[in-house]
Copies of this chain bind each other. A is one copy, B any other.
């Protein structure tokens, strides 16, 4: 009988609990293994006291529950660990490996984004701890998987917000800007913008010219539409703007406020900004994500059963597969200029703030 550990790291995403549930249902309920849950990403494993057995009973009712019962953190790297007063960072990888052994764990299921996967991989490479990865990124910006759980729940949340802003924008003849998550990749803005009927979408991959959005607003005015809806990823920037990291003061207020300010310089309109923020991470996962998370959890156990340590679960087309973790770590998955959804958005009249017309496709 195997004995494995599981932990969740990085920002939370709807569906984390559904992964945990599927792992327990499959490993404990069907295969008779023991599953130990480590609290707060790798931190619980550093402190052996915060590792507990996950029984079938503890997995009950998790499918629809947001967050993660194991807790998570996006602070701290066990390989550069520093607590409160400590001056220098320590490498605690050896401790992690020792604790894994002492707990009798054959290996770990590491559920998390790229940072967490890298830590898991390093633990395997440097300390021989066997690891299987399950990808988590609410922004959908992992290159190795077509989709991850949590993303469509975030899109649903942002779409609902656009629906709400739609009615109040229309009543007040306003330009309504919704800022959604997406620091490097504009997936949520693109999907939710399409689903919520945004007239313009600003994403990090396409620097925008504020005048193009103004043209759109005026064009709508000529068609008798006195309001406009814009979806903006938090990482979107105007063409003439220094990127955020070169000067922290450039984007006081975030991408939404910045776009609003640019528009206000150019047109006379009532402009309002809403920053959706943490609401996108919270709440019960939608059906789509519950299913995807369950598939991922079952696959992770299957990989372990087949001795395929060092692999990460991923979705390729309609199939859930295992690929080497090394393939999974690398550059983020960005919205490509030839992306089909981008083209579909343009084809239905959505502008991305660039001068590019409708693609030939």
Chain A contacts to B: CB under 8 angstroms: 11-12, 14, 16, 21-22, 25-26, 29-30, 40, 56-57, 60, 63-68, 71-75, 146, 152, 155-157, 159-161, 163-168, 170-173, 176, 191-192, 194-197, 223-225, 270, 272-275, 277-279, 281-284, 286-288, 290-291, 294-295, 298, 301-302, 317-320, 340-341, 344, 347-349, 358, 361
Q: Known contacts A164-B279, A282-B163: does B72 contact A171 (CB below 8 Å)?
A: yes
Q: Name the CB-closest residue of B to A64.
A: B163
Bound CA–CA A225/B14 (angstroms): 21
Residue of A75, A168, A197 ringed by the most chain B CB atoms within 10 A: A168
Bound CA–CA A353/B273 (angstroms): 29
- The answer to whether B319 and A281 touch across the interface, beta carbons within 8 angstroms, is no
- The answer to whether B344 and A295 touch across the interface, beta carbons within 8 angstroms, is yes
Q: Known contacts A274-B279, A317-B318: does B347 contact A287 (CB below 8 Å)?
A: no
Q: Name the CB-closest residue of B to A166.
A: B282
Bound CA–CA A224/B50 (angstroms): 13
A252 to chain B, nearest CB (A): 10
Can you spell out 13 A-B residue pairs with CB atoms less than 8 angstroms apart? A12-B172, A26-B347, A63-B195, A66-B168, A152-B287, A159-B287, A159-B290, A164-B282, A165-B278, A195-B290, A274-B279, A288-B288, A298-B347
The 7 residue pairs across chains A and B that have the minimum distance between CB atoms = A164-B282, A66-B167, A317-B317, A67-B167, A67-B171, A195-B287, A12-B171
Number of copies of this protein chain within its complex? 4
Q: Known contacts A12-B167, A168-B67, A274-B277: does B341 contact A30 (CB below 8 Å)?
A: no
- The answer to whether A194 and B290 touch across the interface, beta carbons within 8 angstroms, is yes
Q: Which residues of B contact A68 (CB under 8 A)?
A: 171
- The answer to whether A358 and B66 touch across the interface, beta carbons within 8 angstroms, is no
- The answer to whether A194 and B319 touch across the interface, beta carbons within 8 angstroms, is no
Bound CA–CA A164/B22 (angstroms): 21
A101 to chain B, nearest CB (A): 28
A207 to chain B, nearest CB (A): 24
Bound CA–CA A273/B167 (angstroms): 25
- The answer to whether A224 and B57 touch across the interface, beta carbons within 8 angstroms, is yes
Q: Known contacts A159-B290, A197-B63, A291-B195: does B282 contact A167 (CB below 8 Å)?
A: yes
Name the one of B16, B173, B277, B341 contacting A71, with C-beta atoms under 8 angstroms.
Answer: B173
Q: Which residues of B contact A278 (CB under 8 A)?
A: 164-165, 168, 176, 272, 274
Q: Which residues of B contact A14 (CB under 8 A)?
A: 167
- The answer to whether B60 and A155 touch across the interface, beta carbons within 8 angstroms, is no
Bound CA–CA A75/B344 (angstroms): 34
